[in-house]
Chains A and B, each alone.
Chain A
């Protein structure tokens, strides 16, 4: 008997019998859950990484120079390091409080105003740019989300009270600089992705902040510089190199990974359970099939089929059910991805991150389940070897 014969008979049976179709659906469904979970977790991870990458505060180093050299000399030297995109002196930030009540809402009002180079500033936001030539401007870029308390971390407790920064776009913030006792109005001209921020940081032009700091007579010169790094992954390298040259540095913001790890661990748990579920389905549908079809197999033996023929039938049936289930899961996967994309278009991370399809994962899943269904088929085939034809045919 040829393989094609086994396949053609089995295909006929598989599509004409409800219980087979049901098994195919269950297998497809569980593979779908596993693969969807995997790609959503991947996407979320990538989104969070991108978000952190976009957030300048995670690429900001405070560097201390204890050589007491000229400011411009140090800035030049620091700028020459690889991966450094911009260096400003410590005077580049100032604390202030928002005082327009209608905007403040639930906020404690504290914001950090960072002065950075206009080019860098422009790289942070889409939309309206700072005028690269103007160095005196009262325009600022704000985070998409303001945290109620300036030291609250994302995903912790007060997520409900987060202020949507997009309401502030094109509005004027009335800022109070406590140290110098001055009020100034700033127009919010852009927003940046502020996920993970532990402080409410706004950016404005460096010269603007310098002007404010120069008004503060209490400020002591302390040889601290702010270094902006091109990529998060390069920070550690840079820190080591700086240390070699006697610069001590601190990173400004640190990513809080616990919530992501939590999501990832949920995902892994879901995946493992569904995988076990899928395996159980394969096992169960097979055992059930053998029990149900003992009489069918006995009948085949009556017709002259030998144990090897039956083993082939069982294995091919298993494989086909699994393969059809797998193909169906791929189709369902693609459909559900599109549904998710369209239905949840407004969700932040789907807007910015394409859902990642991990084909390697599919391949691994395919191989694991293939081996399992082969093994299961083999076991059932061996089991069927010893059936009592007469007893079984009457079942």
Chain B
């Protein structure tokens, strides 16, 4: 069963009339690590944003858990994003005024399913799982890039979403940290999550269960 599906999606940036996504369809399943590879400007980031309903599309449909999101209002979309989707970006977008565990707690505050008393323990547990047990009380400015990205991953996992969308998560990292992050993502997919990662790095392909290629707004299977 697919957890996220796009049907004939077209995204045109009206400003410069760029067809960033050109009538593409794809299905993504739980338990899998998807890597979308492609040249710069091919539309990878646009696809990730569309998958995470961060932007509107011109045509087509997006289904999350077989439900179309096109007609949803802002509140419903936000709730869906909070429950089902975790984002990881090349820049970590951590809150510099909050400590590592507080950053991880941030998404939990809007999740009614997590009790107030559990939040901190849960955040610390996530950080521990990502090897940051010594960095729980650090501010982002006191962390290395790799550590910051791991905090961002922990934050993305805070509400235990089914889908992790990652846009060049290793773009700012050295090979060692790149491998750490890729291993984390790989493990997450093994533990049941659907990981969709876009990158132009070739080394990530080795981790993938399935690789897509993006070219001028068109998504291609590794087979064709």
Does chain A have a CB within 8 A of B28?
Answer: no
Given contacts A302-B52, A302-B81, contact A17 B97 (CB under 8 A): yes
Q: Select which of B82, B91, B98, B109 is within 8 A of A5 by beta carbon.
A: B109
Of residues 44 through 65 on chain B, the ones whose CB sits less than 8 Å from some CB of chain A are 49, 52, 54-55
Write the A2-29 contact mask toward B (1 if CB under 8 angstroms, else 0). Answer: 1001000100110011000000000000
Q: Which of B79, B87, B109 has a CB less than 8 Å from the CB of A302?
A: B87
Assembly CA distance A307 to B110 (angstroms): 12
Judge whether A306 and B55 touch: CB under 8 Å.
Answer: no
Chain A contacts for B222, CB-based, 8 A: none
Give the A-binding residues of B (Cβ under 8 A): 49, 52, 54-55, 74-75, 78-79, 81-83, 85, 87, 89, 91, 93, 95, 97-98, 102, 106-107, 109-111, 116, 155, 159
Is A303 in contact with B106, judged by CB distance below 8 angstroms? yes
A12, B98: Cβ atoms under 8 Å?
A: yes
Among listed A99-107, A156-164, A239-247, A293-301, interface-contacting one: A293-301
Interface string of A289-318 (1 = CB under 8 A from B): 000000110011111111111000000000
A356 located at the interface, meaning its Cβ lies under 8 Å from any Cβ of chain B in the complex: no
Contacts of A12 in B (CB 8 A): 97-98, 102
Interface residues of A in 271-294 (CB under 8 A from B): none
CB distance from B198 to the nearest CB of A (A): 14
Residues of B close to A303: CB separation below 8 A: 81-82, 87, 106-107, 110, 155
Do B93 and A304 touch across chains, with their CB atoms under 8 A apart?
no
Is A210 interfacial (CB 8 A cutoff)? no
Contacts of A305 in B (CB 8 A): 78, 82, 110
Give Cα A13–Cα B106 distance, bound, in whole angstroms: 12
Pick the 3 closest A-B CB pairs, nearest first: A304-B82, A306-B78, A16-B97
In the complex the two chains form, is A1's CB within 8 Å of B54's CB? no
> Cβ of B54 and Cβ of A304 under 8 Å apart?
no
Which of A13, A296, A303 gathers most chain B CB within 10 Å? A303
Give the docked Cα–Cα distance between A306 and B54 (Å): 12
**Chain A residues, CB < 8 A from B98:** 9, 12-13, 16
A9 x B87 contact (CB < 8 A): no
User: What residue in chain B is nearest A9 (Cβ atoms)?
Assistant: B109
Of the residues A9, A16, A389, contact of B55 by C-beta under 8 Å: A389
Question: A300 to B106, Cβ gap below 8 A?
Answer: yes
Contact A304 B81 (CB under 8 A): yes
Given A12-B98, A300-B106, A389-B55, also A306-B74 (CB < 8 A): yes
Of B52, B75, B93, most A-chain CB atoms within 10 Å: B93
For the complex formed, measure the closest distance between the CB of B108 and the CB atoms of chain A, giving whole angstroms.
9
A393 at the interface (CB under 8 A from B): yes
Q: Is A390 an interface residue (CB 8 A)?
A: yes
Contact call B49/A390, Cβ cutoff below 8 A: yes
Q: Are A296 and B95 in contact (CB under 8 A)?
A: yes
Q: Which residues of A contact B52 (CB under 8 A)?
A: 302
For A393, the closest partner residue in chain B by CB is B93
B28 to chain A, nearest CB (A): 19
Measured between beta carbons, the chain A residues less than 8 angstroms from B85 are 304
Contacting pair A1 B87 (CB below 8 A): no
In the complex, which residues of chain B have a beta carbon less than 8 angstroms from the beta carbon of A301?
Answer: 54, 78, 81
Per the bound structure, the CA–CA distance linking A5 and B159 in Å amounts to 16
A306: nearest chain-B partner, CB-CB:
B78
**B161 CB to nearest chain A CB (Å):** 9
Q: How far is the CA of A28 from the CA of B116 in the complex (A)?
A: 34
Cβ of A389: which chain B residues have Cβ within 8 Å of it?
54-55
When A302-B81, A303-B155, A304-B78 are in contact, do A13 and B97 touch as well, CB less than 8 Å? yes
| Complex: A393 Cα to B90 Cα, angstroms | 12
Distance between Cα atoms of A5 and B112 in the complex (Å):
12
List chain A residues, Cβ under 8 A from B111: 304
- Cα of A27 to Cα of B107 in the assembled complex, Å: 32
A21 to chain B, nearest CB (A): 11
Cα A309 to Cα B110 with chains together (Å): 8
Can you offer 8 A-B residue contacts whose CB atoms are under 8 A? Answer: A1-B110, A9-B106, A13-B97, A301-B81, A303-B106, A304-B82, A307-B74, A394-B91
Instruction: Give the residues in chain B near A295, CB-CB below 8 Å.
Output: 93
Besides A1-B109, A13-B95, A306-B75, 7 more A-B contacts (Cβ < 8 Å) are A295-B93, A299-B95, A302-B54, A302-B87, A303-B107, A304-B79, A309-B110
Q: In the complex, which residues 248-292 of chain A have their Cβ closer than 8 Å to any Cβ of chain B? A: none
Q: Which residues of the other chain, B, contact A296 by a CB distance below 8 angstroms?
A: 95
Q: Mark A368-395, 1 if CB is under 8 A from B, else 0.
A: 0000000000000000000001100110
- One of B55, B75, B87 near A308 (C-beta < 8 A): B75
Residues of chain B with a CB closer than 8 A to A308's CB: 75
Q: Are B79 and A306 in contact (CB under 8 A)?
A: yes
User: How many angstroms from the CA of A17 to the CA of B98 in the assembled complex?
Assistant: 10
**A308 CA to B102 CA, complexed, in Å:** 21
